[in-house]
Amino acid sequence: MNDQRKNQLKREISTISNITLKAQEAYLIVSYLQQDEDDADLNYQKKMSSFFYYSRIIYWQITIIEIAKLLNEKEKFSVWRIIKKIKPDGEYSELKVSMELISKWEEKLALEKESIKNIKDQRDKVYAHEDGSDDIKNLIPLSKIDFFLNLFKEIIVELEKPLGLPHRMFNLINSPAANLKYIIRMSAKGTKYEKEAYRELTKQYGLEN
């Protein structure tokens, strides 16, 4: 593979990686905000704040929009297209990715036909054009998002190897989701402190009841 074609493929892989990373970070925020907490104050902050409620909706939209880019065969940087290009008769056949691996990826995608349609419908009918949201039934569970993100990452890593690219790190340090957790915990801690201070004050004046 000459340098020009190699650099072209590197750019394509980089774009797919960036889309995957953006979807992953949005999904981690949704997943955290959706999760129930044992701590009542922490749970209250997550569930009752209109800002966090709205954030959960917005970041879910981002998750779906980004993942749909990689699952829509018509999109320029879809995983379908990159898989086609690395086949023995494809544009990047020199990469010599095993057909066993390629077939495994295609089979995984084929088995998720309904989930892929659901994601496309959400993107097209709800978040991109808003012309048929009533037709969307049984939105896919978060576990399916996990599945697709892991598949994208597997494809990226396998394509990086023959190009000699450094391993892409998907576990970000100081990630948005980690920062959000810190903010909510500190907010819950502040609320708990205020409650304790108020209780002490009512005790002092004999107003506990």
Contact criterion met (CB below 8 Å) for 136 and 122: yes
> Which residues have C-beta within 8 Å of that of residue 122, sequence separation ≥ 6?
64, 68, 136, 139
Task: Give residue limits of the domains in the chain.
Answer: 3-172
Contact criterion met (CB below 8 Å) for 153 and 17: no
The 10s digit of each residue's pLDDT in 37-94 is: 788 877 877 877 888 888 988 999 999 999 999 999 888 899 999 999 999 999 999 9
Residue 169 has pLDDT above 70, yes or no: yes
**How far is Cα of residue 124 from the mean position of the Cα atoms in its chain?**
18
Which DSSP category does 208 fall into?
Answer: -
What is the chain's mean pLDDT, rounded?
Answer: 84
Quote the pTM value: 0.82
At residue 199 the predicted structure's pLDDT band, cuts being 50, 70 and 90, is: low
Could you write out the DSSP letters of every residue in 54-76? Answer: HHHHHHHHHHHHHHHHHH-TTST
Look at residue 14 in the predicted model and tell me its pLDDT. Answer: 93
